[in-house]
Structure 1
């Protein structure tokens, strides 16, 4: 990175820098109701006031378009807007993860590859790329001293300076242990495979296609200055600003609420110019099996949160002088961003989640109108209706154009949705059968005998004697 970091802004610049930059146009969908807009502004005002922060900006995106943006500041009449840059800390990790997923989708690497295959001499223990993405590599949470977030990257010129002499703190693949150095290695991996600086790759492959012109490695005016507020007194001092060098993939980026609304829309639906919807959904899937009653988890570069029955995906971020949070509820079609310029205090993760809830609950998404299918394949229609796994009743329903759903009728079986494949089979999309193959088994006469789902046999009657039930069926039948 060739740019020279700018010093923190003076207090008068903390909320509303004076350098003008043309605002990036953000599409605006249908207006929110006045009561919803007031509730959003009230929540943001509470977060700024109670969090004792120089400034704060919030935004909401609904169905892919920004519908609300507002800012609050310690200086009357100088609130930030959607084009004011803030440092976003660990939200950077999601961007790095997208670059890695692009390499996977292009066939240039596999997520199961040991990192050593691409970066020899770096990670001991055989940790894989997927484990770095999911923070299950066993690597240390931080670099050896000094504190990398408040010191220049020149102090860590080599990967060995990032990892230290004993980087493994846990057995590889056994536990989730958040690792900033792990993402430094992922940035190095992108550079090794692409042959260019990861920041340049990010600009060309992600930021430009998504229209995120105000997201950068170093601050660009107008931007907020970073501040530390005294915990016991209403006074503050500026935080240092450094280029973190090799650690930049863990938390270097600066962005705006406008740009991050675009990012939120991407995390909800994907974009074929950057990453398919299926690959983005893979990122939003828990990478390590969570507990049955889990409320927080991690996918591939994406944090997961369950709050009040709502599943949120996104990330939080912190760097000295800055806090950030972004959450998306795919089911509700709503995402929210909160950015602020203080080291600690405001609960930005909670505030962003509350912004999502305010819109989702006050203006719930209208379901898409029911419409009949464009065509009806008689062979597929013949598969619909009841099926039995042993004595457990299921029903098969036809969805979309060729996709299907297999659901337990009594609520005590393992159901799933399935995606149609070109060879006439279906692949499980969720639950126990995710990734498993469902196929139709026919007899010599071409008639359907049963369904095979990962070796489980589903028949038209409970223990149908005419089907190939494993272990056979008692010849005397039911009695």
Structure 2
């Protein structure tokens, strides 16, 4: 698959990697670096906007540390002459309405502003849409968040990234400069086989949106972290799994009619069908394309599953779809091992009598005790749909909090008769009974 993309896409160098918790890392590099270096797994490529996922993680780290709130206006943390009322959350999800690029013709001159100029020129940047109106991609917005993080942490963006993300995760090949082991990026002539080298560029204060270089192996590991942080960072040293859950929740779609992709907090979400989603980001810079995605959900998906494909052509668009196909092929042809079922502990005595079938609003639900927790699912739910999972509320033995699945966050309350039998449930205040019941004749004063 990698060789076909390199040949058909006319990409001088393609480097791909697949990460899984249950298999050795897999890499494949095809082509040549375009310089005196030898193409291999350690060759660096520019990853462009995949950089944004790192900046987003830095922002959420600051939130979890109490340094900011996602609904803070950016002006609370940066001294800006305009647009200071735009919130961190809107900038992360590309729903702030801020124009796409910094003021000036950055993509004509390739002369990116420094930090002082970036902030000063905000007064000349447009709000092209009202905040929260719709998705509008903004490198400028992500650049502001990178400078915000740098200000809060007391260093440059690159220094903060190295200390708080790259070093803890062991991403030793990822850096803001290419170094000697980098491939040359090219523009491939549309009507001949000539490859025109692109000049390396430094994006200055816009670096938090697009500056990084990396290897496919590092990026496959990063993708696996975004999809399954508990497997790569079990202590939550970089980010708690619950925070990654928050980042992966879709806040907007990129197209109002197709719903083929969405954005969470700095992350692109690409549904694959059958309750599978790929999470990560694409990247494009002069001479380079990159696609980095982790896989969540679905049969055959292994833990910590991520893929990265990096190419040294700005026009080799076949690169962009390949991680999705690699992940799907790996799950289909080398599925994760099926763990054998083993008997577990019985349900607590005070819950055993309430297990089984209950009816709410005319629909049947099944409550059971599995993997040490009370769970519920619709009787007609498809097999792959996750159940609701409940956790006990301290000091209230008949009250539970829904911690995942349907009605997450809501309470489940058990009502008992005089002999202790559970005769009614209230879940998110809706009544559940052992048999179908209408609302007719129900005493609403109770």
TM-score bracket, shorter-length normalisation: 0.7 to 0.9
Q: CA RMSD in A?
A: 3.1
Shift of 1:251: 0.6
**1:206-225 → structure 2 map (5 Å cutoff):** 206-225=165-184
Give the whole-Å Cα distance in 2 for the aligned partners of 1:200 and 1:312.
Answer: 29
Shift of 1:121: 3.3
Shift of 1:207: 0.7
Match of 1:380 among 351, 355, 366: 351
**1:179-198 → structure 2 map (5 Å cutoff):** 179-198=138-157
Change (3 A) 1:48 1:201: same
Where does residue 142 of structure 1 map in the other structure? 101
Give the whole-Å Cα distance in 2 for the aligned partners of 1:120 and 1:398.
Answer: 54
Shift of 1:422: 5.1
Change (3 A) 1:71 1:299: same
Give the whole-Å Cα distance in 2 for the aligned partners of 1:318 and 1:326.
Answer: 12
Are 2:253 and 2:261, in contact at CA under 8 Å, matched by a contact in 1? no
Give the whole-Å Cα distance in 1 for the aligned partners of 2:278 and 2:141.
Answer: 24
Match of 2:425 among 451, 457, 463: 451
Give the whole-Å Cα distance in 1 for the aligned partners of 2:70 and 2:117.
Answer: 24
Helix, strand or coil: the match of 2:25? strand
Deviations 1:446-470 (A, max 9, x none): 65453333332223333499xx967
Give the whole-Å Cα distance in 2 for the aligned partners of 1:470 and 1:224.
Answer: 74
Shift of 1:166: 4.0
Given the alignment of the two structures, is residue 296 of structure 1 paired with residue 261 of structure 2, yes or no? Answer: yes
TM-score computed with the length of structure 1 as normaliser: 0.80
Given the alignment of the two structures, is residue 116 of structure 1 paired with residue 68 of structure 2, yes or no? Answer: no
Change (3 A) 1:262 1:157: same
Give the whole-Å Cα distance in 2 for the aligned partners of 1:112 and 1:416.
Answer: 31
Given the alignment of the two structures, is residue 408 of structure 1 paired with residue 341 of structure 2, yes or no? Answer: no
Give the whole-Å Cα distance in 1 for the aligned partners of 2:196 and 2:184.
Answer: 10
Are 1:457 and 1:469, in contact at CA under 8 Å, matched by a contact in 2? no
TM-score computed with the length of structure 2 as normaliser: 0.86
**1:41-190 → structure 2 map (5 Å cutoff):** 43-63=1-21, 66-74=24-32, 80-121=39-80, 124=83, 126-148=85-107, 151-154=110-113, 157-160=116-119, 163=122, 165-190=124-149
Give the whole-Å Cα distance in 2 for the aligned partners of 1:321 and 1:115.
Answer: 33
Given the alignment of the two structures, is residue 429 of structure 1 paired with residue 404 of structure 2, yes or no? Answer: yes
Are 1:148 and 1:244, in contact at CA under 8 Å, matched by a contact in 2? no
How many residues of Structure 1 are paired with residues of Structure 2 in the alignment?
426
Given the alignment of the two structures, is residue 329 of structure 1 paired with residue 295 of structure 2, yes or no? Answer: yes
Give the whole-Å Cα distance in 1 for the aligned partners of 2:438 and 2:413.
Answer: 16
Are 2:33 and 2:39, in contact at CA under 8 Å, matched by a contact in 1? no
Shift of 1:106: 1.9
Deviates more, 1:251-260 or 1:367-376: 367-376
Change (3 A) 1:345 1:277: same
Where does residue 39 of structure 1 map in the other structure? none
Given the alignment of the two structures, is residue 440 of structure 1 paired with residue 413 of structure 2, yes or no? Answer: yes
Are 1:417 and 1:428, in contact at CA under 8 Å, matched by a contact in 2? yes
Where does residue 265 of structure 1 map in the other structure? 224
Deviations 1:208-238 (A, max 9, x none): 1111111001112211122221122211222
Match of 2:196 among 233, 237, 248: 237
Shift of 1:375: 5.2
Change (3 A) 1:338 1:461: same
Helix, strand or coil: the match of 2:314? coil
Match of 2:312 among 338, 341, 346: 341
Where does residue 341 of structure 2 map in the other structure? 370
Change (3 A) 1:368 1:50: same
Give the whole-Å Cα distance in 2 for the aligned partners of 1:382 and 1:355.
Answer: 47
Deviations 1:140-193 (A, max 9, x none): 122232225962334674234564524311110121111111101110121122
Change (3 A) 1:162 1:327: farther
Are 2:424 and 2:431, in contact at CA under 8 Å, matched by a contact in 1? yes
Helix, strand or coil: the match of 1:427? strand
Change (3 A) 1:388 1:326: same
Give the whole-Å Cα distance in 2 for the aligned partners of 1:198 and 1:131.
Answer: 20
Helix, strand or coil: the match of 1:153? coil
Give the whole-Å Cα distance in 2 for the aligned partners of 1:54 and 1:200.
Answer: 32
Are 1:52 and 1:346, in contact at CA under 8 Å, matched by a contact in 2? no
Are 1:136 and 1:176, in contact at CA under 8 Å, matched by a contact in 2? yes
Are 1:324 and 1:339, in contact at CA under 8 Å, matched by a contact in 2? yes
Change (3 A) 1:396 1:157: same
Given the alignment of the two structures, is residue 277 of structure 1 paired with residue 251 of structure 2, yes or no? Answer: no
Change (3 A) 1:294 1:371: farther
Where does residue 251 of structure 2 map in the other structure? 287
Give the whole-Å Cα distance in 1 for the aligned partners of 2:71 and 2:425.
Answer: 31
Shift of 1:410: 3.7
Give the whole-Å Cα distance in 2 for the aligned partners of 1:157 and 1:126.
Answer: 19
